[in-house]
Structure 1
Amino acid sequence: MTAGRQSFAGKAAVAGVGMTELSRDSGRSVLELALEASRAAITDAGLGPQDVDAVLCYHMNDSTPAAYLASALHLQDPVWTNEFYSGGTQCASILGDAAMLIESGTASSVLVYRALNGRSGKRMGQTALRIGAGAEEQFSLPYGMLGPVHLFALAAQRWMHETGADESDLAAVVRHSRDHASRNPRAIFRKPMAREEYFGLPYVATPLRRADCCLESDGAVALLVTRTDIADAARPGSPRIRAAVRGGGPGASAMDRAPDVSRLFSSSLAAPLYERAGMSPADVDLAMVYDAYSFVVPVQLEDFGLVPPGESGAFLRAGAADFDGRLPVNPHGGLLSEGYVHGLNNIAEAVRQLRGDAVANQVRDPSVALCTGFGGSLGSAAILERV
């Protein structure tokens, strides 16, 4: 199943980026965080609140509603608002939703945001017994499936068994992430990690150690997506949204019904993404990969054709994924080290890198960025292109 396939070449651009401090305890309401990031994105685009006529967000009942934010920003009516109930699966494809509003003439400038107190407020990874949606969890909970980390630890184990990958491949992902984050002033974790330190960490769920799991963070990120003529006038150099896809198939998200419990969304979405973009893996020179867990990075790199099968671990260890390597991957440190705003901070960094104004680890002359959104065997992907 692959849904939501669309090409938007030349029709919409990401003109503005805004972001709050990422922390473990913001001491602020989610609305305050959303307002700060949104105002920064609008200003960064060279526009004002009067220019915004649509607001989109995604959340898991842990954020402020889009209509509330529109009201607090004093946007001029009528304003199109919509919310998607989801986490990281939406972070790439919500760019496509914004582009569709622009392409249809419904809006000219769309504010996209994700805001949460993901550490000091409502936290993920906690499962409760209930009836209705999600009721199947009551049957897996007694066997130790306490949240996403246990589910994806099983997927990681199977992936390692099938491919011959081992924990040194996971260590390579984590050490790569920490090294990039060490030069990023926004990052929560800015200390490089030695190999010995990694292997000395306790397991959360075998084979995933604490450092193999993304951060829980407080913070907000906002993007302003506009018509390309507006972007060219107000913020020249704004990256275009080339294509976006959303969907997936059987795999890690529903292990009781999947023929391959380690399969991720990327195996389903790679082909339609390149088809819609009119591109191939050879065109990608920057990969912003959703790194909720270390093992999903090599899986996605191989599924999207960026690294030959079985070679991703060696690719990372050789420095080919460094910000000055052959194919830079998450030069800001990603969700494992910078912080976790359900992937939208990865998209924000893609925009900065394509504009050439990253605060650290600026990639040399990037032109095409692959951005992904992970949710197990469901997810999304988008391609951003420099003008």
Structure 2
Amino acid sequence: MGTLSGNGAITGIGETEYSRNSGRSSTALQMEASLKAISDAGLSPKDIDGVIPYATGDTVAEDFITNFGLPDLRFSATTPLGGASVLASVQAAICAVDCGVANHVLIPIGRNGASGVGGRIGNRVQHLPQFRVVGEFEMPLGQIAPAQLYAHMARRHMEIYGTTSEQLGEIAVTIRQHALLNDNAIMTKPMTLDDHQNSRIISDPLRLNDCCLESDGGAAIIVSSAERSKDMAQTPIYVMGIAEGHPDSPSTITQRPDMTTLGTAKAAPVAFEMAGVKHSEIDVAEIYDCFSYIVLCQLEDLGFCKKGEGGAFVQDGRIRLGGELPVNTHGGLLSQAHMIGLNHVVELVKQLRGQAGRAQVQDAEIGLVTGYGDMGDGAVAILRR
């Protein structure tokens, strides 16, 4: 099998303001973020010859041709893996630029998930192809929203390994602390472990503060070939390892043989081998955090600790800034905004460029970012400056 290591780089990033009521369409938010990413890369819209819109969004490649007047769009695709779609899109973009199909591929996300009913996560999940089994057999019993789907996994982990709600709270509190350092984060109020424990149950054992935000905003990145990235405006951030993985029983969580293992467990070894790095070399990690439990589970599946040891791993400041493995330095989906994880990629690029402001991890050179799809699809990328 060939390798994509170092064959593509992220050369531009862009974000809008994140809010709960933008008053704008998701298309408008995507266009703003995309123009910012294009400018950041030192390009013009006419340089974009590839685009990968979000598969279950309401904007398609033709919208970018119309709005930007793209004269030569040669590559478009979609990657319908829910929250793992962004990194699957990066993988597809690298394939395209590496083989010469395109030179600069735009990957945009735009959401009005807080103010627009159509953008809400519960509605989106129910229209995913893999939701058919759940829709037929589990929805009539109340399995409708993501919190209800993932609560089974979290409770199973607790029953087998003794994981506690307080350990999930440590994740939520840490990520909120990081959000307070970010001027573009929705959640600006400090949170204590007591606050977490006193927040209401949404779907046992998941509490309100274990759950990600619904939010409005847009984010975008540009993926360019390694060769072209050398002469662009920003320091290129190279993709050294990238992979996706799908869980056993991919269409329903409750029927799989191991409810505590995600597709991440299949993707991680491939990404690490491709990158040629060890876990100890990762300076910063941006972990998809639709729910606090999913962060804990991914840390195990990534190999930072053994299965069942995630609860102990996140304690004692290990995942905080200044700790052994700073996690979600921007505030993540839990406290910054829900941009299907593209804001995680933007933050990692900032960290590796040295542009992360008050949340900057000193001398960050190698970082990891994950994506997590709705029934357990996993994607992992290891980036390097």
Map 1:61-80 → 2, pairs under 5 A:
62-80=57-75
Percent identity over the alignment is 36
**1:295 match:** 293
User: Residues 1-46 of structure 1, C-alpha deviation per residue, up to 9 Å, x if partnerless?
Assistant: xxxx863223211111001111111111122111100000010011
From 230, 233, 249, give the equivalent of 2:231: 233
Structure 2: distance between partners of 1:65 and 1:151:
29
**2:138 match:** 140
Residues 38, 203 of structure 1: alpha-carbon distance in 2 compared, 3 angstrom cutoff: same
Gap runs ≥5 in structure 1: none
Range that drifts further, 8-17 or 130-139: 130-139
Structure 2: distance between partners of 1:27 and 1:193:
28
From 24, 44, 49, give the equivalent of 1:48: 44
2:241 touches 2:273 (CA, 8 Å); kept in 1?
A: no
Range that drifts further, 274-283 or 115-124: 274-283
Alignment of 1:320 onto 2:318: yes
User: Residues 114-153 of structure 1, C-alpha deviation per residue, up to 9 Å, x if partnerless?
Assistant: 1121122211214779999716413212322122110100
1:96 touches 1:243 (CA, 8 Å); kept in 2?
A: no
**1:59 match:** 55
Structure 1 residue 83: Cα displacement: 2.3
- Amino acid in the other structure paired with 1:276: M
Structure 2: distance between partners of 1:334 and 1:7:
30
**2:211 match:** 213
Structure 1: distance between partners of 2:328 and 2:78:
27
Structure 2: distance between partners of 1:164 and 1:284:
28
Secondary structure of the residue that 1:33 maps to in structure 2? Answer: helix
**1:272 match:** 270
Map 1:346-357 → 2, pairs under 5 A:
346-357=344-355
Structure 2: distance between partners of 1:55 and 1:319:
39
Structure 1: distance between partners of 2:68 and 2:175:
35
Alignment of 1:10 onto 2:2: no
Higher helix share: 2
Structure 1: distance between partners of 2:155 and 2:140:
20
From 120, 124, 127, give the equivalent of 2:121: 124
**2:93 match:** 98
**1:179 match:** 177
1:119 touches 1:216 (CA, 8 Å); kept in 2?
A: yes
Alignment of 1:22 onto 2:18: yes
Structure 1: distance between partners of 2:184 and 2:59:
23
* TM-score after normalising by structure 1: 0.92
Number of equivalenced pairs: 381
Secondary structure of the residue that 1:125 maps to in structure 2? Answer: helix
Structure 2: distance between partners of 1:370 and 1:222:
18
1:34 touches 1:115 (CA, 8 Å); kept in 2?
A: yes
From 72, 76, 86, give the equivalent of 1:81: 76
Structure 2: distance between partners of 1:291 and 1:7:
28
Structure 1 residue 228: Cα displacement: 2.4
Say what the alpha-carbon RMSD is for the aligned residues. 2.2
User: Residues 250-284 of structure 1, C-alpha deviation per residue, up to 9 Å, x if partnerless?
Assistant: 16852353111222122222222222222232222
Higher strand share: 1
Secondary structure of the residue that 2:311 maps to in structure 1? Answer: helix
Range that drifts further, 202-211 or 355-364: 355-364
Structure 1 residue 243: Cα displacement: 2.0
Structure 1 residue 229: Cα displacement: 3.2
**1:150 match:** 148
Structure 2: distance between partners of 1:184 and 1:232:
30
User: Residues 276-328 of structure 1, C-alpha deviation per residue, up to 9 Å, x if partnerless?
Assistant: 22223222221110011101111111221223444433333311211222111
1:252 touches 1:260 (CA, 8 Å); kept in 2?
A: no
Secondary structure of the residue that 2:230 maps to in structure 1? Answer: helix
- Amino acid in the other structure paired with 1:292: C
Range that drifts further, 321-330 or 242-251: 242-251
2:115 touches 2:216 (CA, 8 Å); kept in 1?
A: yes
Residues 135, 268 of structure 1: alpha-carbon distance in 2 compared, 3 angstrom cutoff: closer
* TM-score after normalising by structure 2: 0.93
Gap runs ≥5 in structure 2: none
Secondary structure of the residue that 1:302 maps to in structure 2? Answer: helix
